[in-house]
């Protein structure tokens, strides 16, 4: 069943998508499903384990459930310091 | 944890950790090097997702305080555009003895680097640029292997 | 290596290690704690045999530079009478990456503490005093077990 | 055979000896012999391994040879930092 998900893109993902945020309708149970469904937007072929995800401003796991109306933040590999 | 657009002042930050019970202070600073993986770096841009960088950084510091008998621990990371030589991140720790100050300072910087939503784009002397660590991000010019950063 | 009777200024000393090739700075400071092994400390006196403290300190720094790929490393130790909170020793190291900066800073302070001819006499709040580490020196009031110092 | 050795005392050793330096005539082959012969002066019952010695301003070992006219520096356990 499709859910309405607001997706936020960061760093390289944002540059590839050409936007920092969009609301999409996706058939997704988990954060990982959202990442996979939007591969054409963020453009990443990184293994999921290199990237991170947050749901509604809380750090989450790729197998965390997403619900209708959630905001999913897609983080490319971090590089602080 | 703090994220700032302004220059980091390590001496001022250190002074905030002063404590009569402290016998050891260890400070770490990450500076912008003029090279990375054989390329000449001109400047860097840090993108930080502040709300989660702050909450995740606070978690890291709380973990360090739980793991080691510290008196004080703090971390500040820059955001925005930085020139060569500027301080990108500072970590300061005080404790009674030096073992735990070294260990905790190291723990904090290691965790901050791998867990906080912070990205850096290097601008090279030859004109191109790229996001560090993002080998397969399908971005133009992002041909970096796994970054070895300070 | 330097030995000084004047207050140590870590921020000024750090600035002398600045280098465009440096990605990491690690600084250690040993501060005078208000307690040691359960006793309340009032002040400390450092006795330093300067000629050999300098030459042995220079050896330690040279060893660190040989062991690790450093850019710069320096150490300054106080002599004379110090109050609670004062900086007794500072070590600063810069390098391209953080691994070697942490390791070298730790190496230098560890070696300086066990090899340089420097002695400290603690003066306690209750009026007595004693040379740290000198359990069996047959001195009056020197009843300390092996010292665990910062 | 006795040698003329100038002995320098530091920290607790100096306080016990009541002087920072004296020239003595001792039957000693090594720095360790000097330490042992002057136990009544520096007063230490520390194991030699806890203390250090220098000869003529160079760090030395306890089994280093001493010669007539040498200056031997007796260091109680150090405690820098």
Domains within chain C, CATH numbers bracketed: 2-141 (3.90.1170.40)
Q: How far apart are CA D30 and CA B120, in angstroms?
A: 62
Residues of C with CB under 8 A from a CB of B: 10-11, 14, 18, 20-35, 84-85, 94, 96-98, 101-102, 105-106, 109, 148-150
Q: Considering chain D, what percentage of its residues have pLDDT values greater than 70?
A: 100
Which structural domain, as residue segments, surrounds residue A17? Answer: 3-75
Q: Tell me if A80 is assigned to some domain.
A: no
In this prediction, residue B133 carries a pLDDT of: 85
In this prediction, residue C134 carries a pLDDT of: 74
Listed residue (A39, A49, A44) closest to B138, CA to CA: A44
* Mean local confidence (pLDDT), A62-80: 97
Closest partner residue to D52 (CB to CB) among C117, C134, C137 is C117
- Terminal-residue alpha carbon distance, chain D: 41
* B117–A52 C-beta distance less than 8 A: yes
* B114–A57 C-beta distance less than 8 A: no
Q: Are D59 and C52 in contact (CB under 8 A)?
A: yes
Q: Tell me if A32 is assigned to some domain.
A: yes
Q: Which residues of B touch A81 (CB under 8 A)?
A: 30, 77, 88-89, 109, 112-113, 118, 149-150
Residue of C30, C45, C75, C117 to mutate when probing chain D, most D C-beta within 10 A: C117
Q: Is the dihedral of CA B126, B127, B128, B129 positive or negative?
A: positive
Q: What SS3 state is found at C72?
A: strand
Q: How far apart are CA C52 and CA D60, in angstroms?
A: 11
Q: How far apart are CA A58 and CA B52, in angstroms?
A: 7
In this prediction, residue B144 carries a pLDDT of: 41
pLDDT, tens digit, for every residue of B66-112? 999 999 999 999 999 999 999 999 999 999 999 999 999 999 999 99
Q: How far apart are CA B33 and CA D68, in angstroms?
A: 57
Residue of A43, A50, A79 to mutate when probing chain B, most B C-beta within 10 A: A79
Instruction: Report the neighbours of A using a cutoff of 3 or more CB pairs below 8 angstroms.
Output: B
Q: Are D32 and D48 in contact (CB under 8 A)?
A: yes
Phi-psi region of D20 (alpha: psi -120 to 50; beta: other; left: phi over 0): alpha
Which residues make Cβ contacts (< 8 Å) with residue C33, sequence separation at least 6? B20, B21, B22, B23, B96, C41, C84, C150
Q: Tell me if D48 is assigned to some domain.
A: yes
Q: For residue C4, what are the CA distances in angstroms to A34, C8, C9, D73?
A: 62, 8, 11, 22
Residue C144 binned pLDDT confidence (cut-offs 50, 70, 90):
very low
Render each residue's pLDDT in chain D as its tens digit; 81 residues: 799 999 999 999 999 999 999 999 999 999 999 999 999 999 998 888 899 999 999 999 999 999 999 999 999 999 999
**A5-14 in b/e burial notation, b at 16+ Cβ within 10 A?**
bebbbbbbbb
pLDDT, tens digit, for every residue of C22-58? 999 999 999 999 998 889 999 999 999 999 999 999 9
Q: Which residues of C touch D52 (CB under 8 A)?
A: 117
Q: Tell me if D28 is assigned to some domain.
A: yes
Exposure of C43 by Cβ count < 10 A (0-12 exposed, 13-18 middle, 19+ buried)?
middle
Q: How far apart are CA C93 and CA D76, in angstroms?
A: 30
Q: How far apart are CA C121 and CA C42, in angstroms?
A: 11
Query: Domains in chain A: how many in total?
Result: 1
Q: Tell me if A20 is assigned to some domain.
A: yes
| Residue C48 token pair | 């330093």
ipTM: 0.92
Rg (CA), chain A: 11
Residue C138 binned pLDDT confidence (cut-offs 50, 70, 90):
low
Q: Tell me if D37 is assigned to some domain.
A: yes
Phi, psi of D4 (to 5 degrees): -90, 115
* A49: contact with B, CB 8 A cutoff: no
CATH code for the domain of A65: 3.10.20.30
Residue B137 binned pLDDT confidence (cut-offs 50, 70, 90):
low
Listed residue (A25, A35, A19) closest to A5, CA to CA: A25
A75 pLDDT more than 80:
yes
Residue B148 binned pLDDT confidence (cut-offs 50, 70, 90):
very low
pLDDT, tens digit, for every residue of C104-124? 999 999 999 999 999 999 999
Q: Which residues of A touch B47 (CB under 8 A)?
A: 10-11
In this prediction, residue A45 carries a pLDDT of: 86
Q: How far apart are CA C33 and CA C15, in angstroms?
A: 26
Q: Which residues of A touch B139 (CB under 8 A)?
A: 12, 15-16, 43
In this prediction, residue C146 carries a pLDDT of: 39
């Amino acid at each position: 069943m499709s859910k309405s998900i607001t997706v936020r893109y960061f760093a390289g993902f944002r540059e590839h998508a050409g936007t920092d945020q969009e609301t999409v309708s996706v058939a997704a149970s988990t954060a990982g499903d959202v990442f996979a469904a939007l591969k054409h937007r963020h453009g990443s072929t990184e293994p999921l384990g290199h990237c991170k995800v947050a749901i509604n401003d809380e750090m989450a796991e790729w197998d965390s459930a997403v619900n209708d109306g959630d905001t999913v933040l897609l983080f490319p590999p971090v590089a602080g310091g | 944890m703090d994220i700032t657009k302004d220059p980091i002042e390590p001496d001022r930050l250190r002074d905030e950790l002063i404590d009569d019970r402290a016998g050891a202070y260890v400070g770490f600073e990450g500076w912008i090097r003029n090279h990375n993986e054989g390329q000449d770096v001109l400047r860097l841009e840090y993108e930080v997702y502040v709300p989660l960088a702050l909450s995740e950084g606070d978690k890291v510091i709380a973990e360090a305080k739980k793991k080691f008998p510290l008196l004080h621990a703090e971390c500040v990371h820059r955001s925005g555009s930085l020139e060569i030589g500027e301080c990108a991140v500072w970590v300061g720790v005080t404790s009674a003895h030096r073992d735990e100050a070294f260990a905790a300072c190291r723990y904090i910087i290691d965790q901050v680097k791998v867990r906080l939503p912070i990205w850096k784009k290097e601008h090279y002397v030859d004109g191109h640029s790229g996001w560090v660590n993002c080998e397969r991000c399908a971005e133009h010019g992002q041909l970096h292997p796994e970054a070895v950063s300070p």
